[in-house]
Structure 1
Amino acid sequence: MSAPTLPTGGAAVNPESLPHAEPEAPSAYDAVLLVSFGGPEGQDDVLPFLRNVTRGRGIPDERLEEVAHHYRAFGGVSPINDQNRALRAALQAEIDQRGLELPVLWGNRNWDPYLTDALREAHAAGHRRLLAVVTSAYSSYSGCRQYREDLARALEETGLAGEMHIDKVRQYFDHPGFVAPFVDGVQGALERAEQGGVDLASTHVLFVTHSIPTQAALASGPPEAELGPEGAYGAQHRAVAEVVMTAVGRDVPWSLVYQSRSGAPSTPWLEPDVNDAITELAGQGTKAVVIVPLGFVSDHMEVLWDLDEEALTTAREADLWAERVPTPGVDPAFVRGLVDLVTERVEGQDGGVRPALTALGPWYDVCRPGCCAGREVRPAVAGLAP
């Protein structure tokens, strides 16, 4: 089967179809809660972690072992927890420097420290109003709605639903603090390609994000928004990629591609896969690729394995010059940007002065009704029902 033809550039969307994003009024918070995916920290953790990730899907352990080898190749340790420890410390330092007097707590969806533990810790310390910062920049069920459902479930499981309130900062896909590290990364990679004798006329920039089912993509964002065949998820990524390439200022073609597809082969997911794209580009005469993990906040396992192992191997086998640029991680611009998002909510900053680099932003403080809903609508914090 031949690889699909790569679309280049952005997709036409109608930002005016988005309902007006009214900023919330200023609010006094007791603490900031860093919320993330979690990951194993040893070989014995790998299968229990993957069982948590796939809970309710009935996936047998032998199937999970097909994914487990990614973690086992790194000693069973995902880098994501250490990255979140570093991010938590960096956020606390920036918050302290600004005099906000907010402690930064941390809880995960799938591994220790779990959200329930983080909420109990917060409650024991006397905190009743938390502002969540999620390590996911884009709109989708798994990247936003599911985290809001996780928080609602954690409140119920701990018996704190009537005592504790949790808000969430807006999706920050086009905040300058998130975008700037990618601009620096692409500029640096293209400069190194030129220094290595690569002709930029034969170079292609591949912006990569996690594939999701096409139906989930269509459901991302407010139901009334007109954001194209990939919903808010695709539209946001394409809009940010355009901003990055405009800032880089080089006439280099680019595409949005996907990675880490899973699930039944009969279920349509967003395409093309990054490896198929690399193979196709090589066949078309491309000599170099710059791989940009645009959908990721940090260099966690799916970046280290799916891109650094698999995609770069595909590029080498196709005799292409290739480089994968860094994720934001704890880049000072990213850390400052996240604390800016906290400050917005503390101050109730007007939407007209909130930074947003695309026509789609600034996104909402409070998610719209039905935004990014899954098959079954569950209770969720920081949103309008359902």
Structure 2
Amino acid sequence: MSDAKPYDAVLLLSFGGPEGPDDVMPFLENVTRGRGIPRERLEDVAEHYLHFGGKSPINDQNKELLAALRGELDARGLADLPLLWGNRNWEPYVTDVLREAHEGGVRRVLTVFTSAYSSYSSCRQYREDLAEALGTLAEEGRGLEVDKIRHYFNHPAFADVNAAAVAEAVAQLPEGARVVFVTHSIPDAMNDVSGPPAAGGGAYVRQHLDVAAEVARRASERVGRELSWDLAYCSRSGPPTQPWLEPDVNDHLRALHADGVPGVVVAPVGFVSDHMEVKFDLDTEAAETAGEIGLPFARAATVGATAQFVAGLVDLVQERAAQARGEDPELPVAGGLGPSHTVCPVDCCRNLRAPRPAATGEDWQAPVPAGS
């Protein structure tokens, strides 16, 4: 299967990050606009970036992923398929990227998010920003159609690459080391409405538990013994009065040490690459916590731009293209949950603050270009 029709471009859509110290506060203001986050909290988070010279690693990681995707597309006979990169919160902004693509003749785009799970922050907010970009372009007389691939948290490639990373990290620690899978914490209320309403919410946690169990199973086969594991969270940013998903990874490491666990592998299964939440929250803060209490610690790698993961993403691109052509391709999954939807149901991962139109959904009405 080497065809990507009816799509005439693929867009890698990511979060974005500052490129230097002067970018940090404007970037954080973009991220938190309309959320009422106190200036003091932004200054605290800014220190995370300034700790690394004010530059987020995510942009370079996206460039590496783009290069790997380009190579995989070319190898499958898709050298003429444009590969775009846009961000929600920093340059290159998605609106600008889509405008330039339209000028180059692109009319239908397939989007790959650098987030594998269902929640407002990890899916719908990307869809809302796409809708805003398409509305802006329509006002300029530019019509574009945009789709997305399905959530890939349970794609076999994602699970297998994570399992290999966990097994490699386990080998660095004493027998009996425990695996702590880590993802970004979100408010409890956001988790409660994550996923399709018909499924009852809670998709964010449910998906993480499913993939953690599958990754642990595959890693256990690799190391020749059953691995015990937990799910913990990092990067909480809400006020103390607002319930967020717990336990915090640092609190959990202390609890495991108190229980006599001989070592921990911290596995950032909620993240695709080593961006700031991994580099600061895990490689810096969690590693320091483990050092302070004398707990042997290893951090498993993220999937990054590994060949198997990249091949899996291109499989998903071609799978979605086949669906758009009216075909019925095989939808491989790992774990106990089935394949995710590609067109989001109404109110999927809904916005609890100020609902906005969201692209690639059942209720999405593409804006009509001005002058048409």
| TM-score over 0.5 (shorter chain) | yes
Aligned to 1:287: 262
The secondary structure found in structure 1 opposite 2:172 is helix
Tell me which amino acid in the other structure corresponds to 2:345: R
Aligned to 2:12: 34
Structure 2 contact 217–226 (Cα < 8 Å) conserved: no
Aligned to 1:343: 318
**Residue deviations 1:302-321 (CA, integer Å, cap 9, x gap):** 10000000011111111111
Q: 2 CA distance for matches of 1:238 and 1:91?
A: 28
Q: 2 CA distance for matches of 1:378 and 1:336?
A: 33
Structure 2 contact 137–143 (Cα < 8 Å) conserved: no
Aligned to 1:103: 82
| TM-superposed deviation, 1:385 | 1.8
Structure 1 contact 27–345 (Cα < 8 Å) conserved: no
Structure 2 contact 117–123 (Cα < 8 Å) conserved: yes
| TM-superposed deviation, 1:204 | 1.2
**Residue deviations 1:144-196 (CA, integer Å, cap 9, x gap):** 01100000001112336861000001110000121122101111111222xxx
The secondary structure found in structure 1 opposite 2:166 is helix
Q: Which runs of 5+ in 1 are unaligned?
A: 1-25
TM-score (norm 2): 0.91
**Residue deviations 1:276-322 (CA, integer Å, cap 9, x gap):** 00000100111200000010000001100000000111111111111
Residues 355-364 or 67-76, more deviating: 355-364
The secondary structure found in structure 2 opposite 1:154 is helix
Residues 26-35 or 231-240, more deviating: 26-35
Aligned to 1:93: 71
Aligned to 1:303: 278
Tell me which amino acid in the other structure corresponds to 2:279: L
| TM-superposed deviation, 1:350 | 6.1
Q: Which runs of 5+ in 2 are unaligned?
A: 365-372
Matches within 5 A, 1:204-243: 204-226=178-200, 231-243=202-214
Structure 1 contact 212–270 (Cα < 8 Å) conserved: yes
Superposition CA RMSD, Å? 1.6
Structure 2 contact 12–84 (Cα < 8 Å) conserved: yes
**Is 1:358–2:335 an aligned residue pair?**
yes
Residues 174-183 or 130-139, more deviating: 174-183
| TM-superposed deviation, 1:63 | 3.1
Aligned to 1:72: 50
Q: Give the share of equivalent positions with the same residue, in percent.
A: 55
Tell me which amino acid in the other structure corresponds to 2:161: P
Structure 1 contact 34–105 (Cα < 8 Å) conserved: yes
Aligned to 1:57: 35
| TM-superposed deviation, 1:83 | 0.6
- Say how many residue pairs are matched: 352
Aligned to 1:15: none
The secondary structure found in structure 2 opposite 1:158 is helix
Structure 1 contact 47–61 (Cα < 8 Å) conserved: no
Structure 2 contact 217–227 (Cα < 8 Å) conserved: no
| TM-superposed deviation, 1:377 | 2.6
| TM-superposed deviation, 1:226 | 4.3
Which among 330, 336, 339 is matched to residue 305 of structure 2?
Answer: 330
| TM-superposed deviation, 1:58 | 3.5
Q: 2 CA distance for matches of 1:112 and 1:378?
A: 22
Which among 158, 175, 195 is matched to residue 199 of structure 1?
Answer: 175
Residues 355-364 or 46-55, more deviating: 355-364
Cα distance change of structure 1 residues 161 and 305 upon mapping to structure 2, 3 Å threshold: farther
Tell me which amino acid in the other structure corresponds to 1:258: Y
Q: 2 CA distance for matches of 1:307 and 1:209?
A: 10
| TM-superposed deviation, 1:353 | 1.8
Aligned to 1:9: none
Which among 332, 348, 355 is matched to residue 371 of structure 1?
Answer: 348
Aligned to 1:21: none
Aligned to 1:149: 128
Cα distance change of structure 1 residues 355 and 293 upon mapping to structure 2, 3 Å threshold: same
Q: 1 CA distance for matches of 2:21 and 2:39?
A: 15
| TM-superposed deviation, 1:221 | 0.6
Which among 143, 151, 157 is matched to residue 177 of structure 1?
Answer: 157
| TM-superposed deviation, 1:345 | 1.6
Structure 1 contact 155–161 (Cα < 8 Å) conserved: no
| TM-superposed deviation, 1:59 | 3.5
Q: 1 CA distance for matches of 2:103 and 2:293?
A: 56
TM-score (norm 1): 0.88
Tell me which amino acid in the other structure corresponds to 1:371: C
